[in-house]
Chain A
Amino acid sequence: MENSSRRGFMGKAFGAVAAVGAVGSLVAMKKTWDPLPSVKAAGFTTLDMSNYVEGVMVTEKWRGKPIFVLKKSAEVMEREKGNAAAEARNIKIGNDNFMVAIGLCTHLGCIPAFRKDTNDFLCACHGGMFDASGLVTQVPPPRGFDIPPFKIEGNTLVLGEVGPEWQAMKDNGVTL
């Protein structure tokens, strides 16, 4: 009896020590797999918005991801009028209107191709389609293109920094 209770105590004591060690090592393992500080620090991109031409889709790069920048023509703006979902996604800089979005299909992350003649995007992986303001016109994608965090500074757009316009979009559920 005396022995078995001693053994029981030793077993529990070892269990406690092992549990602390196991939790500690799991924390270390998890953190070892986190993105490195150098990776996180390289996460800002500045775009000069006066360089873009109406109707020409340009792909920029932010955090290794493609960023679609499309300067919208007056004709496109006219078509969007009254479409609240499209208007909410519009980014106005000076007198120009832009669609700026992460160019990855919200389904599984392929890059959709811009079709100049129809002014929309088609994803080759699973057939998803998006219009010129980045809204879904054909599933499987569950939502429109995500809009990267941005801050408007005069004529430039800083990607990766949160400005009031983007914060408003996020709060209203326009983007994630």
Chain B
Amino acid sequence: MAHFTKATSVKDWLNQRLAIDTVEKVMASEYWIPKNINFLWAMGMVLVITFAFLVVSGIFLLMYYVPTVEGAFYSVNYTIMREVDFGWLWRHVHGVAASVVFLIIYIHMFTGIYYGSYKKGREMIWISGMLLFVAFSTEAFSGYMLPWGQMSYWAGMVITNLFAGGSLHADGLVEWIRGDYVPSQAFIGRFFMLHVLLVPLAIIGLIGLHFAALRIPHVNNQDGEEIDFEAESKKYLDGDKKGSKVMRFANDFMSKDMMVVGIYLVFFFYLVFFHYGFAMDPVNFDPADGLKTPAHIYPEWYFLWSYEILRPFNIDLGLILFGFAQVIFIFLPFLDRSPNTCAANRRGVAFKVWFWLMLSNMIVLTAMGKLPPEGVFSQIGLVAAIVFVAQWIALPFITAKEKKV
């Protein structure tokens, strides 16, 4: 049996049993972070805090929400909004956070692309991150069903119809997913379960994987410099804090992180209290009606770019390209053949153009996805969708030709 001695303090007692000193070093005080970073490195912590807000507000909403066809709409729009004290706060925090979390995810993603943070041993960070994006998308979609308004119902109808696979006509699969011919009680029940249990469990597991994937290769820095963390941390611990290229995760880096989080939270609560409307579609304040399609169905803003890739083509090609757009980002570490790990602007003209075109094209796709599919907007959407696909096909070729910087 392991040898235990009489504890000299509570901390010593715990230390003998849980090795809390070692854990604290590995996770915090001797988890080394490069100094050469900027505020964009705080987006991970911003996401953690936003997820925490979603969980806490979700717990309070869960206590009054009723997952039935008859009860769902009124439990949200009457019970929670009018009867429950501060019910509006939880709903607006939940809705705003669900929308803003995607804004931060996109910033986090494009930061990673810009600085090459998916390369040289950091591939698993990127892959686990993209799996988190998929899980968050599922969570957002299943949550959007729950108020059971017109947009909930018709988004549910349209998205589940995607699983018929176009000309494959897998209507049996669609009916299986819905548990009925159209979205109804079985549908609301299973999406409620997914939203409050299964998908959050997956998200929490993936967050663990995402953090674990970061611990060994360490976080990237502004110049993509390969840092000898052993040597630099030794320098730091030996007293040369100024000369070392690294700092402690806690409390040094955390203090800066939380500074950014603080600024973000001011912005976040400004939205919650004064501008929550953008996260609450007016059409969804009509109860679901299976015999009346809203005049114009569109997803929330964070899905618009991929929706716009689906829209301009016939159903089969549209579905194939939509599927392509959903999965292609995950392969980025393997499609980028360049030997360089540094800021996109310094990797030569080709990748510099690729990066900024990708970013601006996704903004164009997002804008076109929101507009009705008519006239010049259809044309712009079609061109933007083709450019998106072409850029990914071109990526391995232009990066393979890149010169070592």
Contact = CB atoms under 8 A, between A and B. Distances in A.
A125 interface: yes
B186 A125 contact: no
A73 to B, nearest CB: 25
A30 B190 CA distance: 13
A65 B182 contact: yes
A140 B374 CA distance: 13
A64 B183 CA distance: 9
Size range of the chain A interface in the assembly? 20 to 34
A43 interface: yes
Contact of B169 (A108, A111, A176): A176
Nearest to B175: A35
B52 interface: no
Contacts of A110: 154, 157-158, 293, 297
Interface string A1-13: 0000000000000
Contacts of A66: 290-291
Interface string A64-80: 11100000000000000
Given A35-B180, A125-B297, A111 B292 contact: yes
Given A36-B186, A64-B182, A109-B158, A59 B373 contact: no
Contacts of B154: 110
A112 B291 CA distance: 11
Nearest to B162: A108
Contact of B179 (A36, A108, A126): A36
A124 B296 contact: yes
B166 to A, nearest CB: 7
A107 interface: yes
Interface string A103-124: 0000111111100000000001
Interface residues of B, number: 38
A85 interface: no
Given A108-B162, A124-B295, A125-B293, A35 B186 contact: yes
A112 B292 CA distance: 9
Contact of B186 (A39, A112, A140, A141): A39
A92 interface: no
Interface string B153-179: 010011001100011010100011111
Given A36-B179, A39-B186, A110-B158, A127 B373 contact: yes
A54 B341 CA distance: 71
Nearest to B291: A66
A171 interface: no
B179 A33 contact: yes
Contacts of B370: none
B277 to A, nearest CB: 23
Interface stretch (B40-48, B113-121, B223-231, B311-319): B311-319
B182 A63 contact: yes
A91 to B, nearest CB: 21
Interface string B298-337: 0000000000000101111010000000000000000000
Given A109-B161, A142-B167, 12 more contacts: A30-B176, A35-B180, A35-B181, A64-B180, A65-B182, A65-B290, A108-B157, A109-B157, A111-B292, A111-B293, A124-B293, A139-B314
9 contacts: A33-B179, A64-B290, A109-B158, A110-B154, A112-B293, A113-B293, A124-B296, A141-B315, A142-B314
Identify the 3 closest CB pairs spanning chains A and B, nearest first: A64-B182, A63-B181, A111-B293
